[in-house]
Amino acid sequence: MEKTALFNYILGIADNNLILGQGLGELCGHGPNLETDIALTNIALDLFGQTRSYYQYAAKLSAIHKTEDDVAYLRKEREYKNVLLVEQPNTHFGYVIARQYLFDVFNYLFVEKLQHSKDETLSAIAKKAIKEVSYHKRFSGDWVKRLGDGTEESNQKMQEAIDGLWQYTNELFEMTEADEIALKAGIGVNLSELKEAYYKEVSEVLKEATLTIPENPYFQKGGKQGIHTEHMGYILADLQYMQRTYPNMTW
């Protein structure tokens, strides 16, 4: 597979982890209690670890971005390929959990398939990641049920979160040009094939959580093409501040 296409394919995977991890990292010290605080930051750490492996690989393929840090910090908003779901802001805990769960189910199905990639590096990252992602999904899934099937208030907040975030789920399965090329090369995952399993699993858990799936939803997309929601600029401002202000700084 040609280098630029592979580079783009890797970013399509890694940027999701980076941006979601950044959102979770923001909650460090602000979780509703100590245990969930630690859990969310641990999940962020796993996501950053995976991202780091992907970016290290991407940097080897790029003529412009020499290091993993360049890839992470020195791109413009339009060059980030993450889905809109992961850039949605931290509002209340239920919303954070819903965002996490809707991503975790996808991420698990995705890395499960990526393990069989013909690309040895991607396959190795996926084999490492799947063990971690299974913990994430268990954590977020448990909380979806606990809050959904909880008090009247927690149920209502959880339902609001699902109603608000559902429109971003379909984009997870959109095949970009890089996805198509990687799939043909035996390196990439066929995202459209994950869709049925995803909605089946999510529906079952939401049902158990006494939550309902929005009817006749309109789905949003654009993130994979670099067209982001208004939240993305704020995330990048935080993320890139140090490198933009003090270029090449290290510690």
Partner 1 sequence: MTLIHEPKIEACLRDILQTVSDPEIPVLSVLDLGVIREAIEEDGVVKIKVTPTYSGCPAMDVIADDLKAAFSKVGKIVEVDLVLSPAWSTDWISEEGLKKMEAYGIARPLSETKDKDALLGNEKLVKCPQCGSTNTQLVSQFGSTACKALFKCDDCQEPFDYFKCLK
Nearer to partner 1, 100 or 169 (CB): 100
Q: Which of residues 205-224 bind partner 1 (CB under 8 A)?
A: none
Give the per-residue contact string, 46-65, with partner 1 (x = CB under 8 A; - = no): xxxxx-xx------------
Q: How far apart are CA 32 and CA 143, in angstroms?
A: 13
The single residue among 25, 26, 27, 42 that binds partner 1, judged by CB under 8 A, is 42
Q: How far apart are CA 156 and CA 85, in angstroms?
A: 20
Which is nearest to 127 in space by CA: 113, 139, 106? 113
131: contact with partner 1 by CB under 8 A? yes
Alpha-helix residue ranges (DSSP H) falling in the chain: 3-25, 34-61, 68-73, 93-114, 120-148, 152-165, 177-184, 195-208, 231-245
Give the per-residue contact string, 161-200, with partner 1 (x = CB under 8 A; - = no): ----------------------------------------
What type of residue sits at position 169?
Answer: T
Q: How far apart are CA 179 and CA 70, in angstroms?
A: 23
127: contact with partner 1 by CB under 8 A? yes
125: contact with partner 1 by CB under 8 A? yes
Contact indicator for 202, 246 with CB cutoff of 8 Å: no
Q: Which residues bind partner 1 (CB under 8 A)?
A: 34-36, 38-39, 42-43, 45-50, 52-53, 120-121, 123-125, 127-129, 131-132, 135, 138-139
